[in-house]
Structure 1
């Protein structure tokens, strides 16, 4: 596995995990007692906490990437055949 391949695998894992954790613990403005923004769409999240979710996605993606890298480098999966 070359460095470019490692980066691509990490990016793919990161986006998969980020899109999986994105809807976690999200409340719409219509569910919040005080939406805080006049005229905002009621379905928009009141507090999306994107920074926390991005860090969580990074941590989980790193673990998944490391497992993937170990499998590829050990030769269990060989892409050369």
Structure 2
């Protein structure tokens, strides 16, 4: 795994966890009974972005480490999950000598 691949894997993992964390403990303006004019009742009443980012990072780092260790372990490859046998090795040479 290259450094770029590790960074991309972390970014994807972080944002996936972030989208799971966003709706946790969400109190909308409609639930709080204090709707600001010009906003929807479903808008957050007290949105704490810093807390969500910290919580996301606390969960994303161990998940990313686990995924990275699994990828670097190499025990399971793409060929192992090829049920239709489309990635079978070629029977002849890839480049003809003619």
| 1:8 alignment counterpart | 8
Q: Which has the higher contact order (CA 8 A, sep 6+)?
A: 1
Q: Secondary structure at the match of 1:51?
A: helix
Partner of 2:66: 67
Structure 1: gaps spanning 5 or more residues? none
Query: With structure 1 as the length reference, what TM-score do the two structures score?
Result: 0.83
What is the TM-score of this pair, normalised by structure 2? 0.70
For residues 8-66 of structure 1, the C-alpha deviation after alignment (integer angstroms, 9 at most, x for no partner) is 0000000100000100001111211545x444322111012111111111121111110
Whole-angstrom distance in 2 between the partners of 1:77 and 1:3 = 21
- Matches of 2:58 and 2:9, distance apart in 1: 14
Highest Rg: 1 or 2? 2
Listed as ranges, the matches of 1:1-81 within 5 Å are 1-34=1-34, 37-78=36-77
Q: Where in structure 2 are there 5+ consecutive unaligned residues?
A: 81-98
Q: Over aligned residue pairs, what C-alpha RMSD do you find?
A: 2.0
